[in-house]
A and B are shown apart, each in its own frame.
Chain A
Amino acid sequence: MDLGNLASLKHFIPEMILVAGVLAIVIIDLAVRDKSRLGALALIAAATSLLAIGLEPVLSGAWLFHRMLVFDSFAIYFRTLIALAAVVAIWMSIGSQEVKSCDQGEYYAILLASTFAMFLMAESANLLMAYLALEFVSLTSYILTGFLRHNRRSLEAALKYLIYGGVASGTMIYGMSWIFGITGSLDFNVINKALSTPGHLPVLAVFIALVLILTGMGYKVASVPFHMWAPDVYTGAPIPITTFLAVGSKAAGFALLTRFFFPAISHLAAGGSWTALAGVDWPQLLLFVCIITMTLGNLAALQQTNMKRLLAYSSIAQAGYALMGFVVLSNDGIRAMLFYLFAYYVMDAGAFVVVMIVANSTGREDVDAYRGLAWRGGIVPALALTIFLFSLTGIPLTVGFIGKFYLFAAVIRGQFYILAIVGILNSVVSLYYYLKPIQKMFFEQPRGDEGTVRFQPWDYGLMGVLACATIVFGLYWSPIISFANRSLSFFTGPT
């Protein structure tokens, strides 16, 4: 189905709820003096949008707004993930000490707008739309990163993010112009048709165009070598925003990456395996990116002493793991990647929630602030952080293990043995730095200068939900894997 503007609107309800939320917050912000309720309003908007995604009619798929966006089950999966990330980020913001000092109205309005933009990224069916959505996400992210106006680190992070982002998106749109020159279109479906037509295709030119486009998308998922912004931005941004970028923005990046590299420029053969069109060898390139990303992320994380920075490098490595599912070029791999992104959402957001709880109480983010946490009244957050970190390592009984299990299963099935070996060695290396805060919390005694952790039901509630989810989905993961399985279909036109 190729829907026009008005007909598209009925598949656009979650997005419209977010826009309504943005408008409502802006107007109420002007009207009322007491800004403390704006967070709750934003939370309601994000949660309603999530609900609307859940209630959307299941259909095979459609193009919206004259083939600018595509509505299919793949988009549903990622919009769910992004909406969940927004819910967590807003929930965290309500309890965050850092955010309390900011302009509440603008903060929540931009956060919702950013969510909206990420939805668009997951739905783009056209390179132009993809570019606009990606820029929209980037611009809102720059503002949110620099929201702590009186904090030098926050401002520096925003500036770095802006400069990197500008270069990356500039490079990407240049690559898109090459694609347009070669295929005559920006529409994913038309690009696919053009590349599948036998004839004299300039393979090298297509390859260069893909490398340029990969710059922009790789920057969003923070894969090496476009990862340099991540540690500084994750450290400088307010913790809820760090979480939102680490989880939501990365998921949106993966959505776009997958939609462009699979349905747009690859061919799905029977049996669920994909082949690159026109003999362009991007899979080899991405395999290389994947291996470097996880290795570099893990090695750099070994030396970190700031928790946010440690988690930043860890999230680079995690993106590398997720890419394993990408480079094996099979539906098995994509499904594993989808599952892993969900697992990553639960465990990484959980870890950041604990970091925020500790930072709220003590004002510190370094690993030493966790010394003896279990023995100075913080046994609950200490246990929760332990669960999240073990999950990030991939130890059983957690959802992270199941995620890794699916990834390695796809890798072994695709016979990428070197990748499997690199992957498991990375898991072992990562254990070393994930254990660092655990050692501090449990094995060391407090020295008295760390401060106590105060009990905040609001934050503990979120932490509890995420910790339970980590364990429950580690034991009973059928619902998630079948959701990921259903989301494997890309709409590429009426059949």
Chain B
Amino acid sequence: MSHALTLITFVPIAGMVLILALPDSMKNASKWIAVAATIPQLLIAIHLYEHFDTTTSAVQFAEKASWMPSYHISYFVGVDGISISMVLLTALIMFISTFASFGINRAEKGYYAMLLMLDTGMMGVFVSLDFFLFYIFWEVMLLPMYFLIGIWGGPRREYAAIKFFLYTLLGSVLILLAMLGLYYYSATPTFDLTELAANSSHYSIGFQRIVWIALFVGFAIKIPAFPFHTWLPDAHVEAPTAISVILAGVLLKMGTYGILRVNFAVLPAATYQLAWLFLGVIGTINIVYGAMCAMAQTDYKKLIAYSSISHMGYVMLGMAAFTTAGINGAVLQMFNHGTITAMLFILVGVIYDRAHHREINGFGGLAQQMPIYTAFTGFAFFAGMGLPGMSAFISEVLVLLGAWQTHPIMVVFGSATAVLTAGYLLWTFQRIYLGPLNEKYKGFSDLSFREAFTLVPLGVIVLILGVYPHAILGLLNTSLVHLNQVVLSTSGAAVAMVH
């Protein structure tokens, strides 16, 4: 397949057009069209996984066509180890979340059309190697997300939707300015990220620092890094289940992916200087602060949202380490966080669909009524805590080990937070699932087949990666070692440039 990446990106658009063309009388078919669009995507992703050459850090499956020659803009897509792992994650999460959307019963056509447009936007971000193209996809993703939260969301959906949009637009316009700066001050004006990365030493260190910070703020809003995180709990609480799954599963990864793709690769000297503060310290704050906030929540979904902020902190800390273990752990954590948090949000959605509230203290004893559901939740909670044998254990240990050599104090905070994490998850588990059964919930049915179907694949992946992390690490390692080398190699050069 020579156009695999183009296909994987634009298959959903074809589905979207089909859905929009459906007559209203056949609107029930829209969900199946959405499923039909995500299956080939998943198959292509598996195909890419099988044919990916793990021995090189070079771009693979590349396609390039000129788009706006006078501004050196081209349609340039390709994947390396970092992006292919995200492509896999996106295809998987989109497949799962289409099934998780079957509960939507209002304006289905619009919903599934938006879902597929979002799919294309996210996939496009991960495969683009032209900065302009990257930016287009980055922004295109905002529109469906805004409507998905705003139309199909909870009671305060308007507030959450506009907050999400304003925050992320502020981030994107900063990226736009940084992009133009990189374009005009590069050796030869270009938006080609591989070329920009190859000529990174051309930028002066002062310029690198300014652009680095602008880019960082733009990407940090998406992660979301403290103090730009306040939109996330609101968006999660109001978003429908499947959208929360996508938001936590894929969207948050774009922030850290962008930092690796642009900040690390194109501005390595500034990265080397600034990462300890912006990624290390802020990442540690994310870990600790997110866990503390999670502990204080009484809304089940908000708790998971804050735990998600906490777990993304490990990604940032791992990136700040500049060791092979740290950066490998960071990207593996991105993948693992995607699968585990997706499970958690599906599980929250299951109980919300039945009880129509998420008040943690309003439940109790659900284990008696819904044993299978409780078992799945227990599994996901243990995965979230990073228990050995599950995927997050590997990635968090890698991050902490990797960062120990460079930032020992941050690691102390990071590893101590594991206790907090276990604390709030176990406490939540106890309040919702254990104890005497609340009479109100006597009639609740256990997991339906569809719900179990969305959870099982994620659970299996969590287990496999817990035992055999090489399945993803093998993809990442070569590219990440190379990227790490690029950043480290500037440490000498950076000093020379200052004087």
Residues of A within 8 A of B (CB): 375, 390, 393, 395-397, 401, 405, 408-409, 412-413, 420-421, 424, 427-428, 431-432, 435, 439, 442-444, 477-478, 481
Contacts and interface: CB of A to CB of B under 8 A. Distances in A.
Contacts of B107: 375
Interface string B103-147: 000010000000000000000000000000001100110110001
B434 interface: no
Contacts of B157: 443
A443 B68 contact: no
B166 to A, nearest CB: 6
A331 B183 CA distance: 18
Contact of A395 (B71, B142, B174, B183): B142
18 contacts: A375-B107, A395-B139, A396-B135, A396-B140, A397-B136, A401-B139, A408-B177, A409-B71, A412-B180, A412-B184, A424-B176, A424-B177, A428-B166, A431-B165, A439-B158, A442-B147, A442-B151, A443-B150
A189 B486 CA distance: 57
Interface string B68-98: 1011000000000000000000000000000
Given A395-B143, A439-B158, A431 B180 contact: no
B147 A427 contact: no
Residue among A393, A427, A442, A477 with most chain B CB within 10 A: A442
B176 A405 contact: yes
Contacts of B135: 396
B177 A443 contact: no
Given A408-B177, A413-B184, A439-B162, A427 B169 contact: yes
B166 A412 contact: no
A390 B144 CA distance: 12
Contact of A431 (B158, B169, B177): B169
Contacts of B161: 439, 443
A435 B177 contact: no
B399 to A, nearest CB: 33
Contacts of B71: 409
Contacts of A401: 139
Residue among A375, A390, A424, A444 with most chain B CB within 10 A: A424
Nearest to A397: B140
Contacts of B147: 442
B173 interface: yes
A432 B162 contact: yes
A365 B150 CA distance: 24
A376 to B, nearest CB: 13
Contact of B166 (A408, A421, A432, A481): A432
A428 B162 CA distance: 11
B180 A408 contact: yes
Contacts of B183: 409
Interface residues of B, number: 29
Q: Which 9 A-B pairs have the closest CB atoms?
A: A424-B173, A412-B180, A396-B139, A396-B136, A443-B150, A428-B170, A443-B158, A413-B184, A409-B180
Contacts of B169: 393, 395, 427-428, 431
Given A443-B161, A481-B70, A424 B174 contact: yes
Given A396-B140, A431-B165, 16 more contacts: A375-B107, A396-B135, A396-B136, A397-B140, A401-B139, A409-B183, A413-B180, A424-B173, A424-B174, A424-B176, A431-B169, A439-B158, A439-B162, A442-B147, A443-B157, A477-B68
A435 B165 contact: yes
Contacts of A397: 136, 140
Given A397-B140, A442-B150, A443-B150, A412 B181 contact: yes
B168 to A, nearest CB: 10
Given A397-B136, A428-B173, A435-B165, A478 B180 contact: no
B412 to A, nearest CB: 38
Interface string B148-173: 00110000011001100110011001
Contacts of A424: 173-174, 176-177
A413 B150 CA distance: 38
Contacts of B180: 408-409, 412-413
A428 B174 CA distance: 10
A53 to B, nearest CB: 25
A444 B151 CA distance: 8
A408 B176 contact: yes
Nearest to A406: B71
A412 B71 CA distance: 14
Nearest to A404: B176
A428 B172 CA distance: 10
A133 to B, nearest CB: 34
A254 to B, nearest CB: 23
A401 B179 CA distance: 14
B411 to A, nearest CB: 37
Given A408-B177, A412-B180, A443 B166 contact: no
Contacts of B139: 395-396, 401
A6 to B, nearest CB: 41
Contacts of A439: 150, 158, 161-162
B184 A443 contact: no
Nearest to B185: A412
A218 to B, nearest CB: 27
B173 A435 contact: no
Contacts of A396: 135-136, 139-140
Interface string B309-349: 00000000000000000000000000000000000000000
Contacts of A428: 166, 169-170, 173
Nearest to A379: B110
B397 to A, nearest CB: 40
A420 B157 CA distance: 32
Given A431-B166, A431-B169, A443 B176 contact: no
Contacts of A395: 139, 142-143, 169
B162 A435 contact: yes
Given A424-B177, A435-B165, A443 B151 contact: yes
A71 B460 CA distance: 73
A400 to B, nearest CB: 12
A393 B184 CA distance: 24
B297 to A, nearest CB: 26
Nearest to B71: A409
Nearest to A427: B173
Nearest to B73: A405
A390 B142 CA distance: 11
Contacts of B140: 396-397
B177 A412 contact: yes
Interface in B164-204: 165-166, 169-170, 173-174, 176-177, 180-181, 183-184
Contacts of B173: 424, 427-428
A330 to B, nearest CB: 12
Contacts of B68: 477-478
Contacts of A478: 68
A477 B184 CA distance: 21
Contacts of A375: 107
Contact of A420 (B150, B162, B177): B177
A443 B161 CA distance: 10
